[in-house]
Amino acid sequence: MTRLHTNLTASDFIRKSFDFLIVGGGTAGLVVAARLSENPHLTVGVLEAGSCALGKDKDEEGEDEDDVNIPGYYRQTLGGSRDWQFETIPQQGLGSGGTSALNFMTWNRGSRQDYDAWMELGNQGWGWDDLLPFFKKSETFHKPNQDVRTGAKANFDLEAVGSNGPIQISFPQEYSASHSLWHHTLNSLCVETNVAHLSGSNVGVWTSACSVEPEARTRSYSASAYYLPNASWSNLILLTEAVVVNILLDQENGAWVAKGIILSAGSVQSPQIIELSGIASTPVLSMAGISVKVDSPNVGENLQDHLMTTTVFEVNPSLENPDDLKTDMKLASSARYKYVNTKSGPLTILRCSICYLPLSHFVSPDILSSLTSLPPSIDHFSEQESFIFRRLSHSEKLGHIEYIFDLGNWSSFFKPNPSEGKKYGTMLQILQYPLSKGSIHIHPPDSAPTRPSTITDKLAIDPKYYAGRNGHLDLEIMTQCQRFAQKICSTKPLADIIRARAFPPPSVSDDELQEWIVQTTVTDWHPVGTCSMGGRGRVNTGVVDERLRVHGVRGPRVVDASIMPLQISAHLQATVYAIAEKAAHMILQDIGGYGE
């Protein structure tokens, strides 16, 4: 296997001349790097803060790379050395209390309307029809065999998927014991099976495809798919353990300039680096002790995230359960043996029982009308807010809420007693179109408030979950959705394997359910919008233009999930790949590298 440039030093790197310098070697950054370096006349450098161990058994901290590559280990990297472990400030709405190498490999897209809304906001070229070629360009879809198609209801529309892209997309060969009950249960509740969930509507019940290479049964992601095959190219240079502290801006004819810089540091760190470079709202920069170069009021604003609760149920103890691998070393060893020798068994199983539903499917018309009526106390709505409220209407058949069921205890709050010998299953409920909007900003540390903020200082991450002028509506929606989650789990045939609700405890009444939601809501790790495209409002409503160029300065662009002006109803990774593919295409167009 090709090795990374592990011997490259910072001194070696800075002696090279680059046409483009990409900050962040994650999902988007490595896509852009690979596509730009396909032009042999361009030299592309990538600065990645983390360490890499592709082609090795362990990384520099001794952490096993199997935690990344083996599908069944997908939860083990969270909270480890590869995880930035960002924390929000205390959230009043919660009682004051991502990368492609760490995600859960779910491969789906939002609905057509999600992307068309970006275009309707004034971001030309960002509708569904514009993005679909780039979705397809990123992927190679592998058709499942007939047994999987029939037994697991692994449906697809071959016209909507790619056949020659770097990311390998497949359906698992094996599924958890609850999966065979999922479709029948939702069908019993008048939810139709979606036979083409990648084709512009994800509404309904379906089996998810995954970013997994089907022969090796390993994770397919940006490093293995976009970087490694091209790592030997002399015009593609990656430096790891390289932390970017800011962008150095020069003045040319009265304008601030930083040519060839592409920020792909994600929804948290892209705005951080921009602010540390002197581009942000004047009050934020003044408080952080940073000189103002460009007053850009929306940097770090517009943070939107998917909110999630997890309901845990006691299930039939005879069912094979992923939690068993944590407590039974013999079973864990057997699972490992099967994976290594036959690429089968529990370590190939992923959570694939998915359902997206509009609120109108289970919320009464009266309650839905009260939720979607514009509050009379608010005399002005932004164009973005209007879009979000419109999405909640009766007529919009969109996936307002995502449900996922799988065996195992997925809750970070529920701590069962191992001595009881009980087994569990979990319903995940995820709000897709949050009305709550927050921010991410730099600020000086409390211990040294007089010095300027730096890249190592803790950020003020404030999603404002269930807060702000519309956050209470998110809470009411989640409460309604939680009730339906329990209805799903009390419906046959899924109900046949469920013994009782374990969390929230049975003692929590329906009237107390909302308070339980407040206390147990967590993020689904899908932050977007902090460097959003401005559309018609340009700098007044956004940070970058429709070609992802930072307003107020020449040269820098942002390419990652932070440019999304509105949240989508989907897991983010497929969309981030499409954004990066489109961005690379636009950049090459702009420099005459190729394009129409």
Mean pLDDT highest for which of 6-10, 132-136, 349-353?
A: 132-136
pLDDT above 90 for 350: no
Angle in degrees, 0-180, between the axes of helices 27-37 and 573-590, rounded to the nearest 10: 30
Decide if 298 is inside a domain: yes
- pLDDT per residue over 523-543, tens digit each? 878 899 999 999 877 777 899
- pLDDT per residue over 282-331, tens digit each? 999 999 999 999 999 999 999 999 999 999 999 999 998 888 888 889 99
Decide if 2 is inside a domain: no
pLDDT band at 469 (very low <50, low <70, confident <90, very high): confident
Assess whether 274 and 389 both reside in one domain: no
Q: Mean of the per-residue pLDDT values for the chain? A: 87
Active site residue 526: yes
pLDDT in the model for residue 194? 97
Decide if 97 is inside a domain: no
- pLDDT per residue over 439-457, tens digit each? 999 988 777 778 899 999 9
CA-to-CA separations, 333 to 176, 177, 421, in angstroms, rounded: 19, 20, 20
Per DSSP, the three-state class of 209 is: strand
CA distance linking residue 47 with residue 28, whole number of Å: 13
pLDDT above 60 for 487: yes
CA atoms within 13 A on the CB side of 50: 18
DSSP state letter for 226: I
Decide if 132 is inside a domain: no
Which of these, 233, 185, 178, lies nearest to 38 by C-alpha position?
233
Assess whether 251 and 321 both reside in one domain: no
CA distance linking residue 365 with residue 294, whole number of Å: 48
pLDDT in the model for residue 96? 46
Q: At which residue do the structure tokens 């047994």 appear?
A: 147
- pLDDT per residue over 265-287, tens digit each? 999 999 999 999 999 999 999 99
pLDDT above 70 for 84: no
Assess whether 273 and 335 both reside in one domain: no
Per DSSP, the three-state class of 475 is: helix
Query: Phi then psi for 314, rounded to 5 degrees?
Result: -75, 135
CA distance linking residue 436 with residue 88, whole number of Å: 14
Q: At which residue do the structure tokens 């083990």 appear?
A: 76
Tell me, what amino acid is at 388? I
Percent of the chain with pLDDT over 90: 67
Assess whether 195 and 321 both reside in one domain: yes
Element (H, E) at 368: helix 365-372
Q: What is the mean pLDDT of residues 379-383?
A: 66
Tell me, what amino acid is at 557? R
pLDDT above 50 for 99: no
Decide if 455 is inside a domain: no
pLDDT band at 365 (very low <50, low <70, confident <90, very high): confident
Q: How many residues does the chain have?
A: 596
pLDDT in the model for residue 511? 86
| First vs last C-alpha separation in the chain | 36
* Active-site choice (179, 183, 306, 526): 526
Query: Phi then psi for 279, rounded to 5 degrees?
Result: -120, 105
Work out how many domains the chain is built from and give that number.
2
pLDDT in the model for residue 397? 87
CATH number at residue 324: 3.30.560.10
Residue 551 or 79, more confident? 551
Percent of the chain with pLDDT over 70: 87
Assess whether 483 and 391 both reside in one domain: yes
Which of these, 45, 37, 22, 67, lies nearest to 226 by C-alpha position?
37
CA distance linking residue 22 with residue 556, whole number of Å: 10
pLDDT in the model for residue 298? 95
pLDDT in the model for residue 502? 95
CA distance linking residue 8 with residue 112, whole number of Å: 44
Q: What is the mean pLDDT of residues 83-108?
A: 57
Residue 88 or 497, more confident? 497
Per DSSP, the three-state class of 388 is: helix
Q: Is 244 annotated as a binding residue?
A: yes
pLDDT in the model for residue 73? 61
Assess whether 167 and 69 both reside in one domain: no
Assess whether 65 and 171 both reside in one domain: no
- pLDDT per residue over 404-421, tens digit each? 999 999 998 999 988 888
pLDDT band at 81 (very low <50, low <70, confident <90, very high): very low
Q: What is the mean pLDDT of residues 139-145?
A: 96
Q: At which residue do the structure tokens 């798919």 appear?
A: 225
Decide if 233 is inside a domain: yes
Assess whether 366 and 425 both reside in one domain: yes
Which of these, 304, 359, 105, lies nearest to 212 by C-alpha position?
105
Assess whether 18 and 79 both reside in one domain: yes
What is this structure's pTM?
A: 0.91
Decide if 448 is inside a domain: no
pLDDT band at 560 (very low <50, low <70, confident <90, very high): very high
Per DSSP, the three-state class of 54 is: coil
- pLDDT per residue over 31-65, tens digit each? 999 999 999 999 999 999 887 544 444 444 444 57
Decide if 99 is inside a domain: no
Assess whether 177 and 161 both reside in one domain: yes
Range of the domain at 287: 10-83+222-303+528-571
Q: What is the mean pLDDT of residues 366-394?
A: 71
* Active-site choice (183, 306, 441, 571): 571
pLDDT band at 4 (very low <50, low <70, confident <90, very high): very low
Contact between 355 and 186 under an 8 Å Cβ cutoff? The reply is: yes
pLDDT in the model for residue 140? 97
Contact between 406 and 176 under an 8 Å Cβ cutoff? The reply is: yes
Q: At which residue do the structure tokens 């601030």 appear?
A: 256
List helix spans (H) across 125-261: 128-137, 146-151, 179-188, 222
Assess whether 541 and 475 both reside in one domain: no
pLDDT above 80 for 377: no
Active site residue 571: yes
pLDDT band at 471 (very low <50, low <70, confident <90, very high): confident
Assess whether 312 and 246 both reside in one domain: no
